[in-house]
Amino acid sequence: MDYGEEFQALADAAWAYERKRDEKLFEKISVRVQQIIRRDTRYNVDFLYTAFQLDDARIMCKYVVWLYELMVGVYKDLLLPKERALDSTLGSLDCIRRAAADVVAPEKQQRIFDLLERGEQSLRAYVAAGGAAAETAPAPRDAEVKEYLARLFARDTRGAMALVRSFVDRGIPIDDVYVDILAEAMRRVGELWHTAAITVDTEHYCTSITQTAMSQLYPDIFDAPRRGKTVLVACPGAELHEMPARMVADLFENHGWDSIYLGAAVPQEYLLASVRENNPDLVALSVTMPTFLIDCEQMVRAVKQEFPQVKVAVGGRAFTSTNEIWRKWPVDLFSENGRDLLSAADALVS
């Protein structure tokens, strides 16, 4: 993430404080592990910067809790107590706080301190409440999700592919297969990685197989009668999580829209050129990582400025980390999932 000299200096200074936290340990650990810690420090500053830029403290609060849960998994692997994870997370926040006092312009300092404070409070409240948030309502197709995940974790590639096909064959609408089964399964896979229950390669394996499984439904999806509407779908910034965006494009295709799918990490100029060329009815931007929300906002404004008549929708997991930040943007639609977005878009674009 590129955020100019000031926050770059903040990241460097925070990293210096990180090393000072336990100098003896830093001597012992390998260069590689040192690099990993440095990367993670920068990542913390990324989120702080995003929350700062978008003026949305919830982004920081959510992130701090998320970071803590990640550390819990790491410390569990190391057979170390949970408390160490809390210390580590709060220690990292403190490193940033001290660095900010050193390098950030005074007029910005207070807001940064506030954001860090809000993050710390959220974490303490979370830990005090006993960790994981209350269980949400059971997934509408919990049994299918579990069946699918079981095959993925058994590395039964063919079985997983065939199962997705069989969902459609046994009459589950493609929309529901996408949203209630595959998207939900991927959400759980992410959660399992986050809590160190599965490794990152398993997570990527699950993603790849799920995308391939979706592709076998294309003949059905593209077969739908056309309705003369066009949606353009893209991921802003450096967003590489493109499966949700593709799901959205597919769901629209399945309902007779034509989709122009630009994929992951689409530069703004490229997006605008494509809108110019294809004249879509709707531009849908999908964001998974909150750090790309800034890019998303810029894109929304750029599209609306040049093409006021084109409807713009945003969505994706990143927005759950915000206080409905999309309301501050000139968007026409926001939706939690592709299915809801589709019905809203159908109503909006007649």
Partner 1 sequence: MKVLVLLCGRDWHIVRVLRDAFGADLRAQDDFCEAVSADQARELAALHDRECGHPVVRALNVRGIEHDLPAYIFPYHEHFLVVVAEAASLGGFQTFSRELESWLAWADDNLPMPYQDGYYRIQVMNNRLLNAERALSKKTAQLERTLAEVRDANNIVALLERDRLTGLYTMAGLLHHAHVAAATAAVDEPFDVIMFAVQGLRQVKEAFGHKTGEELQRRVALFATGIDMQGEVLFARADADAFYAVASTRRAFAEALRDSLATYLADYPLAVRLRPVVAVCAGNAPGTELEEACNRARMAFDEARAGVDSVTYYSPDLVEQSLRRHELLDEVPEALAEGQFKLYLQSKVDMATGQVIGAEALIRWMHPTLGFVSPGDFIPLLEREGRIYDVDRYIWEQACKIQRARANAGKPLLPISVNVARGDFYEKDLAESLLDMVRRNGIGPEAIRLEVLERAYAQDSGELAQRLAQLREAGFVIEMDDFGTGESTLAMLSEMPIDVLKLDRGFVMNGLDDPRRRIVIESVVQMAHRLDILVIVEGVETREQERYLLEMGCRYAQGFLYAKPQPADYFLNL
Contacts with partner 1 by CB under 8 A lie at: 28-30, 32-33, 35-36, 77-79, 199-202, 204, 207-208, 211-212, 215, 218-219, 221-223, 226, 240, 242, 246, 249-250, 253, 259, 261, 263-264
**Minimum gap (Å) between residue 97 Cβ and partner 1:** 26
What's the rounded Cα separation, in Å, for the pair 83 and 90? 11
Q: Measured between alpha carbons, how far is residue 99 from residues 7, 46, 121 in Å? A: 10, 14, 20
Measured from the CB atom, is 110 or 215 closer to partner 1? Answer: 215
Taking the C-alpha atoms of residue 205 and residue 25, their distance in angstroms, rounded to an integer, is 34
- Which amino acid does the sequence have at 290? P
Nearer to partner 1, 115 or 161 (CB): 161
CB of 24 or CB of 327, closer to partner 1: 24
Whose CA is closest to 269, among 231, 310, 312, 302? 302
Residues 18, 95 contacting (CB under 8 angstroms): yes
Instruction: Report the residue number, 127 or 196, with the smaller CB distance to partner 1.
Output: 196
CA 185 from centroid of its chain's CA atoms: 15
Q: How many CB atoms lie within 10 A of CB 34?
A: 15
Q: Which is nearer to partner 1, 106 or 219 (CB)?
A: 219
- Could you give the CA distance from residue 293 to residue 86 in angstroms, rounded to a whole number? 27
Cβ 77 to partner 1, closest distance in Å? 4
**C-alpha angle 325-176-279 in degrees, rounded to nearest 5:** 55
Q: Provide, rounded to whole angstroms, the least separation between the CB of residue 203 and partner 1.
A: 9
Question: Order of strands, edge to edge, in the sheet holding 229-234?
Answer: 257-263, 229-234, 282-286, 311-315, 333-335
* Closest to 257 measured CA to CA, from 178, 333, 342: 342
Count of positions (residues) in the chain: 350
DSSP line for 52-120: HHHT-HHHHHHHHHHHHHHHHHHHHHTT--HHHHHHHHHHHHHHHHHHHHHHS-HHHHHHHHHHHHHHH
Nearest approach, Cβ of residue 6 and partner 1 (Å): 29
Q: How far is the CB of 221 from partner 1 (least distance, A)?
A: 8
Specify the residue, 39 or 146, whose C-beta has the smaller distance to partner 1. Answer: 39
Smaller CB separation from partner 1, 119 or 237: 237
Contacts of residue 165, Cβ cutoff 8 Å, sequence gap at least 6: 213, 216, 217
To partner 1, the closest distance from the beta carbon of 225 in angstroms equals 9
Question: Minimum Å distance from CB 36 to partner 1?
Answer: 5
User: Least distance (Å) from partner 1 to the CB of residue 25?
Assistant: 12
Cβ of residue 201: shortest distance to partner 1, in angstroms? 6
Between residues 103 and 249, which has the closer beta carbon with respect to partner 1?
249
> 25 or 125, CB closer to partner 1?
25
Least Å from the CB of residue 22 to partner 1: 15
| Sequential DSSP letters for 274-318 | HHHHH--SEEEEE--SGGGHHHHHHHHHHHHHH-TTSEEEEESGG
179 DSSP assignment: I
Cβ proximity to partner 1, 59 vs 192, nearer residue: 192
